[in-house]
Amino acid sequence: IVAARIIDGKALAQQVRERLAVESAAVLAKTGVKPGLATILVGDDPASHVYVKNKQKACELAGIYVDDHKLPASTSQAELLALIEKKNADPKIHGILVQLPLPKHIESRVVLEAVSPNKDADGFHPYNFGRLVEGNPVFEACTPKGVIKMIESAGVAIEGKRAVVVGRSNIVGKPLALMLLQRNATVTICHSKTKDLAAVCREADLLLVAIGKAKFVTADMVREGAVVIDVGTNKGPDGKLCGDVDFEPVSQKAGWISPVPGGVGPMTIAMLLDNTVESAKRMAGMK
Protein backbone atom coordinates (compact mmCIF):
# COMPACT_ATOMS: atom_id res chain seq x y z
CA ILE A 1 0.00 0.00 0.00
CA VAL A 2 1.27 3.43 -0.93
CA ALA A 3 0.35 6.10 1.59
CA ALA A 4 -1.43 9.23 0.36
CA ARG A 5 0.49 12.31 -0.55
CA ILE A 6 -0.02 15.16 1.89
CA ILE A 7 -1.52 18.49 0.85
CA ASP A 8 0.48 20.80 3.11
CA GLY A 9 -1.78 23.79 3.81
CA LYS A 10 0.80 25.43 6.03
CA ALA A 11 3.48 25.48 3.31
CA LEU A 12 0.95 26.58 0.70
CA ALA A 13 -0.26 29.43 2.95
CA GLN A 14 3.35 30.58 3.33
CA GLN A 15 3.71 30.72 -0.47
CA VAL A 16 0.48 32.71 -0.73
CA ARG A 17 1.70 35.21 1.88
CA GLU A 18 4.99 35.67 -0.02
CA ARG A 19 3.10 36.39 -3.25
CA LEU A 20 0.78 38.81 -1.42
CA ALA A 21 3.72 40.68 0.11
CA VAL A 22 4.94 41.44 -3.44
CA GLU A 23 1.44 42.46 -4.58
CA SER A 24 0.88 44.64 -1.49
CA ALA A 25 4.13 46.46 -2.23
CA ALA A 26 2.90 47.06 -5.80
CA VAL A 27 -0.37 48.52 -4.51
CA LEU A 28 1.56 50.77 -2.12
CA ALA A 29 3.87 51.92 -4.93
CA LYS A 30 0.94 52.77 -7.18
CA THR A 31 -1.47 54.37 -4.69
CA GLY A 32 0.65 55.42 -1.70
CA VAL A 33 -1.60 53.27 0.49
CA LYS A 34 -1.09 49.67 1.65
CA PRO A 35 -3.96 47.19 1.34
CA GLY A 36 -5.85 47.59 4.63
CA LEU A 37 -7.95 45.20 6.70
CA ALA A 38 -10.17 46.43 9.55
CA THR A 39 -10.65 43.74 12.19
CA ILE A 40 -13.62 44.13 14.53
CA LEU A 41 -13.92 41.95 17.61
CA VAL A 42 -16.75 42.36 20.11
CA GLY A 43 -16.53 40.83 23.57
CA ASP A 44 -13.95 38.61 25.24
CA ASP A 45 -14.33 35.12 23.81
CA PRO A 46 -10.76 33.77 24.23
CA ALA A 47 -10.81 31.65 21.03
CA SER A 48 -11.94 34.67 18.98
CA HIS A 49 -9.08 36.74 20.40
CA VAL A 50 -6.59 34.06 19.30
CA TYR A 51 -8.13 33.85 15.79
CA VAL A 52 -8.02 37.63 15.32
CA LYS A 53 -4.43 37.81 16.58
CA ASN A 54 -3.36 35.10 14.12
CA LYS A 55 -5.08 36.90 11.26
CA GLN A 56 -3.42 40.20 12.21
CA LYS A 57 0.02 38.59 12.42
CA ALA A 58 -0.45 37.03 8.99
CA CYS A 59 -1.49 40.44 7.60
CA GLU A 60 1.68 42.05 8.85
CA LEU A 61 3.80 39.34 7.19
CA ALA A 62 2.01 40.03 3.90
CA GLY A 63 2.44 43.83 4.02
CA ILE A 64 -1.22 44.49 4.88
CA TYR A 65 -2.15 47.38 7.17
CA VAL A 66 -4.25 46.25 10.15
CA ASP A 67 -6.84 48.58 11.66
CA ASP A 68 -7.65 46.88 14.97
CA HIS A 69 -10.97 47.43 16.81
CA LYS A 70 -11.67 45.59 20.04
CA LEU A 71 -15.03 46.52 21.53
CA PRO A 72 -16.50 45.56 24.90
CA ALA A 73 -19.23 42.89 25.09
CA SER A 74 -21.66 45.65 26.11
CA THR A 75 -21.34 47.37 22.71
CA SER A 76 -24.77 48.02 21.23
CA GLN A 77 -25.74 46.92 17.73
CA ALA A 78 -26.12 50.59 16.74
CA GLU A 79 -22.57 51.37 17.89
CA LEU A 80 -21.20 48.42 15.94
CA LEU A 81 -23.12 49.45 12.81
CA ALA A 82 -21.78 53.00 13.15
CA LEU A 83 -18.21 51.68 13.23
CA ILE A 84 -18.84 49.53 10.15
CA GLU A 85 -20.27 52.56 8.31
CA LYS A 86 -17.11 54.47 9.13
CA LYS A 87 -14.90 51.68 7.79
CA ASN A 88 -17.08 51.34 4.68
CA ALA A 89 -16.23 54.96 3.90
CA ASP A 90 -12.53 54.85 4.90
CA PRO A 91 -10.25 54.87 1.80
CA LYS A 92 -7.43 53.19 3.76
CA ILE A 93 -9.60 50.10 4.30
CA HIS A 94 -10.11 47.47 1.57
CA GLY A 95 -11.44 44.63 3.69
CA ILE A 96 -13.58 44.45 6.83
CA LEU A 97 -13.56 41.41 9.10
CA VAL A 98 -16.22 41.10 11.80
CA GLN A 99 -15.16 38.17 13.95
CA LEU A 100 -17.97 35.76 14.79
CA PRO A 101 -19.67 34.84 17.05
CA LEU A 102 -21.09 38.21 18.12
CA PRO A 103 -22.69 38.67 21.55
CA LYS A 104 -26.30 37.44 21.72
CA HIS A 105 -27.90 40.92 21.80
CA ILE A 106 -26.46 41.66 18.35
CA GLU A 107 -27.99 40.19 15.18
CA SER A 108 -25.13 38.78 13.09
CA ARG A 109 -27.18 38.85 9.91
CA VAL A 110 -27.83 42.61 10.20
CA VAL A 111 -24.15 43.26 10.92
CA LEU A 112 -22.81 41.13 8.06
CA GLU A 113 -25.22 42.83 5.65
CA ALA A 114 -24.00 46.25 6.82
CA VAL A 115 -20.45 45.54 5.60
CA SER A 116 -20.04 47.04 2.13
CA PRO A 117 -20.13 44.23 -0.45
CA ASN A 118 -17.02 45.94 -1.90
CA LYS A 119 -15.07 45.34 1.34
CA ASP A 120 -16.51 41.96 2.27
CA ALA A 121 -13.19 40.13 2.78
CA ASP A 122 -14.93 37.16 4.43
CA GLY A 123 -17.35 36.78 1.52
CA PHE A 124 -20.36 36.44 3.86
CA HIS A 125 -22.53 39.25 2.44
CA PRO A 126 -25.62 37.91 0.61
CA TYR A 127 -24.60 39.96 -2.44
CA ASN A 128 -21.33 38.04 -2.72
CA PHE A 129 -23.04 34.74 -1.95
CA GLY A 130 -25.50 35.52 -4.76
CA ARG A 131 -22.67 36.32 -7.16
CA LEU A 132 -21.17 32.91 -6.39
CA VAL A 133 -24.53 31.21 -7.03
CA GLU A 134 -24.64 33.00 -10.41
CA GLY A 135 -21.18 31.62 -11.21
CA ASN A 136 -19.73 35.12 -11.30
CA PRO A 137 -18.09 35.59 -7.89
CA VAL A 138 -16.34 38.68 -6.52
CA PHE A 139 -15.38 38.00 -2.87
CA GLU A 140 -15.40 34.26 -2.12
CA ALA A 141 -15.66 32.83 1.41
CA CYS A 142 -12.16 32.12 2.73
CA THR A 143 -12.38 28.49 3.87
CA PRO A 144 -13.88 27.05 0.67
CA LYS A 145 -11.63 29.25 -1.46
CA GLY A 146 -8.66 27.81 0.43
CA VAL A 147 -9.92 24.25 -0.15
CA ILE A 148 -10.07 24.88 -3.92
CA LYS A 149 -6.49 26.23 -3.91
CA MET A 150 -5.37 23.12 -2.01
CA ILE A 151 -6.89 20.78 -4.60
CA GLU A 152 -5.34 22.84 -7.41
CA SER A 153 -1.95 22.83 -5.67
CA ALA A 154 -1.92 19.03 -5.84
CA GLY A 155 -2.22 19.34 -9.62
CA VAL A 156 -5.54 17.49 -9.50
CA ALA A 157 -8.09 18.51 -12.14
CA ILE A 158 -11.56 19.37 -10.78
CA GLU A 159 -13.42 19.36 -14.10
CA GLY A 160 -15.49 16.25 -14.70
CA LYS A 161 -14.70 14.80 -11.26
CA ARG A 162 -17.27 13.39 -8.88
CA ALA A 163 -17.13 15.70 -5.82
CA VAL A 164 -18.90 14.90 -2.56
CA VAL A 165 -19.17 17.71 0.00
CA VAL A 166 -20.17 16.57 3.47
CA GLY A 167 -21.72 19.51 5.38
CA ARG A 168 -23.96 22.30 4.06
CA SER A 169 -23.23 25.33 6.22
CA ASN A 170 -23.36 28.78 4.64
CA ILE A 171 -19.71 29.41 5.45
CA VAL A 172 -18.16 26.15 4.24
CA GLY A 173 -20.22 23.34 2.66
CA LYS A 174 -22.65 25.32 0.50
CA PRO A 175 -20.16 27.80 -1.00
CA LEU A 176 -17.60 25.00 -1.50
CA ALA A 177 -20.15 22.95 -3.46
CA LEU A 178 -20.85 26.00 -5.67
CA MET A 179 -17.15 26.65 -6.28
CA LEU A 180 -16.68 23.03 -7.36
CA LEU A 181 -19.72 23.26 -9.62
CA GLN A 182 -18.32 26.42 -11.19
CA ARG A 183 -15.18 24.41 -11.99
CA ASN A 184 -17.27 21.72 -13.69
CA ALA A 185 -17.22 18.99 -11.06
CA THR A 186 -20.34 16.86 -10.62
CA VAL A 187 -21.28 17.76 -7.07
CA THR A 188 -23.25 15.98 -4.36
CA ILE A 189 -23.96 17.76 -1.07
CA CYS A 190 -24.48 15.58 2.02
CA HIS A 191 -25.78 16.50 5.46
CA SER A 192 -27.12 14.96 8.64
CA LYS A 193 -30.22 13.56 6.92
CA THR A 194 -28.32 11.90 4.04
CA LYS A 195 -29.12 8.18 3.75
CA ASP A 196 -26.20 5.77 3.45
CA LEU A 197 -23.59 8.49 3.66
CA ALA A 198 -20.74 5.97 3.43
CA ALA A 199 -21.91 4.73 0.01
CA VAL A 200 -22.21 8.30 -1.30
CA CYS A 201 -18.73 9.15 0.00
CA ARG A 202 -17.26 6.07 -1.69
CA GLU A 203 -18.33 7.48 -5.07
CA ALA A 204 -16.17 10.57 -4.56
CA ASP A 205 -13.05 11.36 -6.54
CA LEU A 206 -12.91 14.50 -4.39
CA LEU A 207 -14.18 14.11 -0.81
CA LEU A 208 -14.52 17.37 1.10
CA VAL A 209 -15.54 17.06 4.72
CA ALA A 210 -16.83 19.92 6.93
CA ILE A 211 -19.10 18.57 9.66
CA GLY A 212 -17.37 19.13 13.00
CA LYS A 213 -17.25 15.50 14.22
CA ALA A 214 -13.87 14.13 15.27
CA LYS A 215 -12.54 11.32 13.02
CA PHE A 216 -16.02 10.70 11.57
CA VAL A 217 -14.86 9.70 8.07
CA THR A 218 -13.29 6.26 8.20
CA ALA A 219 -11.30 4.35 5.56
CA ASP A 220 -14.30 2.27 4.46
CA MET A 221 -16.00 5.53 3.34
CA VAL A 222 -13.18 6.49 0.99
CA ARG A 223 -12.54 5.38 -2.58
CA GLU A 224 -9.01 4.18 -3.36
CA GLY A 225 -6.96 7.12 -4.65
CA ALA A 226 -9.51 9.82 -3.74
CA VAL A 227 -8.50 13.38 -2.82
CA VAL A 228 -9.63 13.97 0.78
CA ILE A 229 -9.76 17.48 2.23
CA ASP A 230 -10.56 17.75 5.94
CA VAL A 231 -12.05 21.07 7.07
CA GLY A 232 -13.03 19.93 10.57
CA THR A 233 -11.44 21.32 13.70
CA ASN A 234 -12.36 19.28 16.74
CA LYS A 235 -10.91 18.38 20.07
CA GLY A 236 -10.04 14.68 19.82
CA PRO A 237 -10.42 12.13 22.65
CA ASP A 238 -6.79 12.87 23.65
CA GLY A 239 -7.59 16.60 23.92
CA LYS A 240 -5.55 17.42 20.80
CA LEU A 241 -6.87 19.23 17.72
CA CYS A 242 -8.12 16.77 15.10
CA GLY A 243 -10.16 16.80 11.92
CA ASP A 244 -13.36 15.13 10.74
CA VAL A 245 -11.32 12.43 8.98
CA ASP A 246 -9.65 9.48 10.68
CA PHE A 247 -6.28 10.48 9.26
CA GLU A 248 -4.03 7.41 9.68
CA PRO A 249 -6.24 4.71 8.12
CA VAL A 250 -7.71 7.05 5.49
CA SER A 251 -4.23 8.15 4.40
CA GLN A 252 -3.47 4.49 3.56
CA LYS A 253 -6.26 4.56 1.00
CA ALA A 254 -6.56 8.11 -0.33
CA GLY A 255 -4.41 9.49 -3.14
CA TRP A 256 -4.07 12.90 -1.50
CA ILE A 257 -5.08 14.03 1.98
CA SER A 258 -4.89 17.26 3.99
CA PRO A 259 -3.90 17.05 7.67
CA VAL A 260 -5.36 18.80 10.73
CA PRO A 261 -3.62 20.88 11.97
CA GLY A 262 -1.60 22.29 9.08
CA GLY A 263 -4.24 21.89 6.37
CA VAL A 264 -7.29 24.05 5.74
CA GLY A 265 -6.79 26.30 8.82
CA PRO A 266 -3.71 28.20 7.58
CA MET A 267 -5.20 28.45 4.08
CA THR A 268 -8.37 30.06 5.47
CA ILE A 269 -6.27 32.87 6.93
CA ALA A 270 -4.23 33.18 3.73
CA MET A 271 -7.44 33.59 1.70
CA LEU A 272 -8.62 36.41 3.98
CA LEU A 273 -5.40 38.23 3.10
CA ASP A 274 -5.82 37.29 -0.57
CA ASN A 275 -9.32 38.78 -0.60
CA THR A 276 -8.03 41.99 1.02
CA VAL A 277 -5.19 42.44 -1.46
CA GLU A 278 -7.48 41.58 -4.39
CA SER A 279 -9.91 44.22 -3.15
CA ALA A 280 -7.16 46.83 -2.91
CA LYS A 281 -6.04 45.96 -6.44
CA ARG A 282 -9.61 46.28 -7.72
CA MET A 283 -10.03 49.68 -6.06
CA ALA A 284 -6.68 50.81 -7.49
CA GLY A 285 -7.71 49.70 -10.99
CA MET A 286 -4.95 47.06 -10.99
CA LYS A 287 -7.19 44.14 -11.95
- Residue ranges of the annotated binding site for NADP(+) are 167-169, 233
Amino acid at 23: E
103 counts as binding ligand NDP under rule CB under 6 A:
no
Q: Specify whether 122 is catalytic.
A: yes
Distances (CA, A) of 145 to 32, 129, 253, 264: 29, 13, 25, 10
The catalytic position among 8, 34, 99, 120 is 99
Q: Which of 99, 128, 182, 268 binds ligand NDP (CB under 6 A)?
A: 268
Q: Which of 5, 53, 105, 191 binds ligand NDP (CB under 6 A)?
A: 191
232 counts as binding ligand NDP under rule CB under 6 A:
yes
Q: Which of 36, 137, 144, 167 binds ligand NDP (CB under 6 A)?
A: 167
Amino acid at 67: D
CA distance 141 to 173: 11
Burial of 159 (0-12, 13-18, 19+ CB in 10 A): exposed
Q: Which of 234, 241, 252, 255 binds ligand NDP (CB under 6 A)?
A: 234
Compute the least distance from the CB of residue 13 to ligand NDP, in Å: 11
143 counts as binding ligand NDP under rule CB under 6 A:
yes
Report helix angle 9-31 to 264-283, nearest 10. Answer: 20
The catalytic position among 55, 145, 161, 215 is 55
The end-to-end CA distance of the chain, in Å, is 46
CA distance 276 to 20: 10
The catalytic position among 8, 122, 205, 274 is 122
Active site residues: 55, 99, 122
Residues in contact with ligand NDP by the rule CB under 6 A: 143, 166-169, 171-173, 190-194, 197, 210-213, 231-234, 264-265, 268
